[in-house]
Structure 1
Amino acid sequence: MTVRLRAHHLLCLLTYVGKGYSPAFTANYDGIAERLSRGEDILLVSGPDDICAPLLGEPEPHCLRDGAAGRDRQAAEDVEALLARPIRHGIRVDLDAAILTRLRQAFSTGHVRKACGGCEWSGLCGAVASGGYRDARLRRPVDAQNRPI
């Protein structure tokens, strides 16, 4: 299977530690982190994605606001520059160990954090990064025999 993600969630995934907007949101996010840790690929989408799904039943989900789209644009620009490859709607990304390591290093040093400006989770994400991503739910991808790939 494939996980559908908007661009700024490429950054959010790096520091996700099981906290979120609601129990349904975190349960869904835990499942996505597990799927990606098992090596599923990512399809970049425009607008709400698999992480947003539990929020879409709310009266005014924040994932439909302009701020989320702005975060997507900034994250796509930063990640595209870092990885030297297109990051836009319709592109597939294999989040292998090398890419995960590069993203986390760049996040830790602030090189891909412009999209995080004004985000309510920025402080938590900074603490997770400064702690070496120790409690992050996204782990190095593994194959069917649970070996790192």
Structure 2
Amino acid sequence: MYKLRGHHLFCLLGYRGMGYSQEYVENMTLLHQTLRSNPKTLIMLVKGPDQLCEKFPNSGEYHCQDDHIFERDAVILDKMNLTIGQILRWEEIESHILKHVIPADIQVVCETCSWRSYGVCEEGIREIHEGKGLRKIQ
């Protein structure tokens, strides 16, 4: 079982093999590939730093404890009708995305995210709506 915070549910949709450091990318890629190949993988929704934050590089401000990130987590979980402490299969999380999220939501809930300008998270939501699941990392 993986422990994930709210906004990382969206980050996984847009993940394309880029990240903050090599260690972070390796960790994110492993999780992403696991969820892609086994959508029945269990996820526990947590408040605050999760298993992806563990590999965030120690190179200055640790944004994983930033109040704005906690707010983003809460908004995303609320948008998806999910709560901290819930345990779901990844495929159930994708179902919540399909029911409650549209690509344009990224512009609002992730307004201050530095990755938003790439457009990959919106693309990831579109692909969930098209029944494609997580994209294969090249």
Instruction: Tell me the TM-score normalized by structure 1.
Output: 0.72
Question: 5+ unaligned residues in a row in structure 2: which ranges?
Answer: none
User: What stretches of structure 1 of length at least 5 have no aligned partner?
Assistant: 81-86, 141-149
2:70 matched residue in structure 1 = 69
Paired with 2:121 and 2:45, the residues of 1 have a C-alpha distance of 27
Distance in 1 (CA, whole Å) between partners of 2:106 and 2:62 is 25
Q: Normalized per residue, which structure has more helix?
A: 2
Provide, for residues 96-147 of structure 1, a one-character-per-residue CA deviation record: whole Å limited to 9, x for no partner.
1x75266268342x246532111100011347608x55xx99359xxxxxxx
Secondary structure at the counterpart of residue 79 of structure 2: helix
Q: 2: distance between equivalents of 1:63 and 1:127?
A: 19
- The alpha-carbon deviation at position 57 of structure 1 amounts to 4.1
Q: Whole-Å Cα distance in 2 between the matches of residues 12 and 107 of structure 1?
A: 15
1:31 aligned partner: 30
Q: How many residues align?
A: 130
Confirm or deny: 8 A CA contact 1:4 1:44 kept in the other structure: yes
Task: Indicate whether 1:115 and 2:122 are aligned.
Answer: no
SS in 1 for 2:80: helix
**Percent identity over the alignment?**
27
Q: Give the root-mean-square deviation of aligned CA atoms.
A: 3.1
